């Protein structure tokens, strides 16, 4: 390695430790492009599955193989390998859909790389192959989504996982202007779901116990409710004309919040579980069967849903970097992770110098 072909990359070590290592800048192979990294988000799943555990899992969809971390990459094409579609050109701005699928199984053919059935072919960026907390990233061209103007690289990074996940949940619930939506848990995914549901025409309430998060949501124009209030069910009932919400999206992963959502939902409501982890227990007959509820699980959006999200954000003039509270360079990764781990932030991003500067000037 010589000084001008070296890049830095962040590797998570478990037990709240990380290292910044030097790598040779990779050369794109067949079907691949090299991106200059511009923005790479930190995600709650990075904390839960890799950063916090003393010994992160190395197998399965959330197995971490000691690669460069970061699964929310957004950047600019600087080099193109052989056998890449001519639609991609140097200087194009792109979001990387963060799961590379085998391309051949039934799920991949439907664009749902997240559910790829191939153990060897399925590789998530920042988990099983090098991710975005770096100066450059090698991406497969089939995983690229064009970042439309005037969206910023930081917007693109928020789209890459968190907002895409929120969008998939709102699509699953088929939200429209006929709906009253309750979002439980106002972390980055919950905030995103609330903003999207508003744009999709619904009346939206956000339930959250943390006053810091409620304040941040109110600043974004979301009406919030205190999840710790002993009268919360009566309050929601009154706000919804005695009927309850027609859609509940749980972004908390918390048993109590999930149960509240099921209890306050009106008959025939759609419930989407998107917040990871935890459990919930309830009486099936009165709560689900007799109310005729539909309960869905929703993981990450498909790549075509991500393309439609990019298109709609431009149309709605909704710029998701509003969810971002802190931006760091690759060198500031340690601070970025410890701050994000405190729970007292919105979205935290690792960005290039230019993008970090643009963001701080725009504040
Ligand atoms: Zn994520
Ligand atoms: Zn597949």
Q: Which of 3-7, 58-62, 269-273, 339-343 is modeled with the greatest confidence?
A: 269-273
* Nearest ligand, measured from the Cα of 105: 2
Residue of 81, 79, 83, 82 lying closest to 91 (CA atoms): 79
Identify any residues that bridge with 348 across adjacent strands, giving them in sequence order.
326
Q: How far is the CA of 126 from the centre of ligand 1 (A)?
A: 10
Q: Which helix (H) or strand (E) holds 102?
A: none
The structure's pTM equals 0.95
Residue of 90, 75, 93 lying closest to 37 (CA atoms): 75
pLDDT higher than 70, residue 1: no
Q: Which helix (H) or strand (E) holds 109?
A: helix 106-109
pLDDT higher than 80, residue 317: yes
Strands 144-146 and 93-96, by their bridges, are antiparallel
Sheet holding 247-250, edge to edge: 223-226, 203-208, 180-184, 247-250, 270-273, 294-297
Residues 165 and 299: their CA atoms lie apart, in Å, by 6
* Nearest ligand, measured from the Cα of 119: 2
Residue pair 175/200 in contact (Cβ under 8 Å)? The answer is yes
Given phi > 0 = left and psi -120 to 50 = alpha, else beta, which region is 268?
left
Q: How far is the CA of 299 from the centre of ligand 1 (A)?
A: 10
Lowest mean pLDDT among 85-89, 158-162, 293-297, 342-346: 342-346
Residue of 12, 138, 36 lying closest to 81 (CA atoms): 138
pLDDT higher than 70, residue 148: yes
Percentage of residues of the chain with pLDDT beyond 90: 95
Q: DSSP letters of 162-194? A: IIHHHHHHHHHTT--TT-EEEEE--SHHHHHHH
Q: How far is the CA of 49 from the centre of ligand 2 (A)?
A: 23
DSSP strands (E only) in the chain: 6-14, 17-24, 32-41, 73-80, 93-96, 99-100, 123-124, 136-140, 144-146, 180-184, 203-208, 223-226, 247-250, 270-273, 294-297, 324-328, 347-351
* Nearest ligand, measured from the Cα of 110: 2
Q: How far is the CA of 306 from the centre of ligand 2 (A)?
A: 18
Residue with tokens 């970097």: 321
What are the residues whose beta carbon lies below 5 Å from ligand 2 (ion)? 101-102, 105, 108, 116, 118
Q: How far is the CA of 35 from the centre of ligand 2 (A)?
A: 24
Cα angle value 277/210/234 (rounded, 5°): 90
Q: How far is the CA of 119 from the centre of ligand 2 (A)?
A: 9
156-175 pLDDT per residue, tens: 999 999 999 999 999 999 99
């Amino acid at each position: 390695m010589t000084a001008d072909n070296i890049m830095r990359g962040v590797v998570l070590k478990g037990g709240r430790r990380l290292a910044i290592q030097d790598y040779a800048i990779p050369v794109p192979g067949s079907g691949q492009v090299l991106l200059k990294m511009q923005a790479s988000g930190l995600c709650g799943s990075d904390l839960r599955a890799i950063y916090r555990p003393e010994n992160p899992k190395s197998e399965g969809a959330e197995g971490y193989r000691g690669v460069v971390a970061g699964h929310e990459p957004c950047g600019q094409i600087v080099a193109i390998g052989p056998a890449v579609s001519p639609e991609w050109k140097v200087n194009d701005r792109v979001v990387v859909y963060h799961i590379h699928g085998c391309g051949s199984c039934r799920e991949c053919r439907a664009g749902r790389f997240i559910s790829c059935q191939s153990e060897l072919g399925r590789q998530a960026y920042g988990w099983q192959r090098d991710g975005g907390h770096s100066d450059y990233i090698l991406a497969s061209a089939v995983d690229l989504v064009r970042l439309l103007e005037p969206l910023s690289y930081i917007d693109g990074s928020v789209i890459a996982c968190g907002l895409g996940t929120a969008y998939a949940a709102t699509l699953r619930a088929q939200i429209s202007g006929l709906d009253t939506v309750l979002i439980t848990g106002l972390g980055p995914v919950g905030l995103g779901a609330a903003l999207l549901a508003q744009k999709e025409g619904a009346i939206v309430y956000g339930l959250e116990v943390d006053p810091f998060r409620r304040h941040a949501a109110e600043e974004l124009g979301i009406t919030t409710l205190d999840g710790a209030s002993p009268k919360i069910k009566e309050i929601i009932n009154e706000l919804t004309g005695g009927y309850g919400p027609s859609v509940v999206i749980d972004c908390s992963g918390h048993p109590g919040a999930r149960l509240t959502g099921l209890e306050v939902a009106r008959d025939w409501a759609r419930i989407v579980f998107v917040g990871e982890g935890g459990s919930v227990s309830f009486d099936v007959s009165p709560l689900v069967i007799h109310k005729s509820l539909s309960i869905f699980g929703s993981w990450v959006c498909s790549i075509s849903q991500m393309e439609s999200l990019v298109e709609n954000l431009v149309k709605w003039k909704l710029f998701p970097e509003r969810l971002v509270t802190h931006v760091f360079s690759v060198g500031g990764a340690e601070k970025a992770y410890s701050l994000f781990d405190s729970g007292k932030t919105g979205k935290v991003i690792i960005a290039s110098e230019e993008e970090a500067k643009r963001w701080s000037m725009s504040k």
